[in-house]
Amino acid sequence: MTRYIKYVTDEFLKEFKNEFLVKYAYLYKSNEMDKLKSVFSDSNNVIETSIEYEYEPLEVEPKEYDADIVRRNIRRVWESLKVLTPVQAEMEKIWVALAHTDYLAYQMGIFNSQIANPDNKKREESSLKSRTIFVNGAKRSLAIHNLAILWWLAYYFRDDQNIEAPYHLIDFFVSTPYRGNAVALLSSNIISNKEIALGILEAVKVLIEKEGMVVNRFPYSEAGKILNEVGGVRI
């Protein structure tokens, strides 16, 4: 299904972020998708570009982690949105627009299955805000955003030289809950180089599968630190 890349205006993005918890968060909590659609169908708020892409809906990830759904969603996001350049894919205004237009059902589904927390409203609001708009540094925000993270995992870790199985490293990475590991790994500036990113994940994969390293955030956060230290003493 052919659709067009959209982005929110700078003026609306500023207002949306400043008023998010006061004016917009309740629309998620009360499942008012029609009102969100109305806000994001206003031509004063959202601009449609001439960039075409082949839209494919995503599956909502359940509360209990399902690696197969994540793998399918990463493939769908990449195959649909690979028309974006890395510069465009860093833009908050694009991800906010896409998450509230074409991918609104996914965005709302993730809130209901993973974010909604009646027992801890403060945590619920914090998680909703950080996974909807950018509240941290640019790289960390991209690694937390519901939709952007799927694109960037594919961008950095899709192994195009492996013709038969280009997603083999991604499939390994998301075989267990991946969000915390993704934040630890992608927040490092060293990951800006795709070849280094592939090398790090390949090395971690070997250490876990052949050397018995425990699967947690530690190897991903430490890999960036070690490479930064090495980079400081040798070219």
Q: 72 pLDDT exceeds 80?
A: yes
208 φ/ψ sector (left φ>0, alpha ψ -120 to 50, else beta): alpha
pLDDT surpasses 60 at 235: no
Rounded to whole angstroms, how far apart are CA atoms 168 and 205? Answer: 10
Higher-confidence position of 200 and 228: 200
Per-residue pLDDT of 74-97, as tens digits, reads 999 999 999 999 999 999 999 999
Residue 52, pLDDT above cutoff 50: yes
Residue 207: HSE in the Cβ half-sphere, 13 Å Cα cutoff: 15
Query: In which band, very low, low, confident or very high, does the pLDDT at 216 lie, cut at 50, 70 and 90?
Result: low
Out of 110-119, 121-130, 178-187, 200-209, least confident range = 200-209
pLDDT range class, residue 233, cuts 50, 70, 90: very low
Which of 91-95, 113-117, 205-209 has the highest average model confidence (pLDDT)? 91-95
DSSP letter at 39? H
* pLDDT over 90 (residue 180): no
What local confidence, expressed as pLDDT, does residue 221 receive? 58
Task: Give percent of the chain with pLDDT exceeding 90.
Answer: 71
* DSSP E strand stretches across the chain: 2-8, 46-54
- For residue 123, the number of C-alpha atoms closer than 13 Å in the C-beta half-sphere is 7
**119 pLDDT above the threshold of 80:** yes
Q: What is the DSSP letter of 49?
A: E
- Cα–Cα distance between 208 and 104 in angstroms, integer? 36
**The pLDDT value given to residue 196:** 82
Instruction: Check the CA dihedral 204-210-215-218 and report its sign.
Output: negative
Mean pLDDT of the chain: 89
Predicted confidence band of residue 223 (pLDDT cuts 50, 70, 90):
low
The DSSP H or E segment spanning 206 is helix 194-211
Residues of the chain above pLDDT 70, percent: 88
Residues 3, 83: Cα–Cα separation, whole Å: 12
Q: How confident is the model over 129-143, as pLDDT tens digits?
A: 999 999 988 889 999
**Residues 4-23: tens digit of each pLDDT:** 999 999 999 999 999 999 99
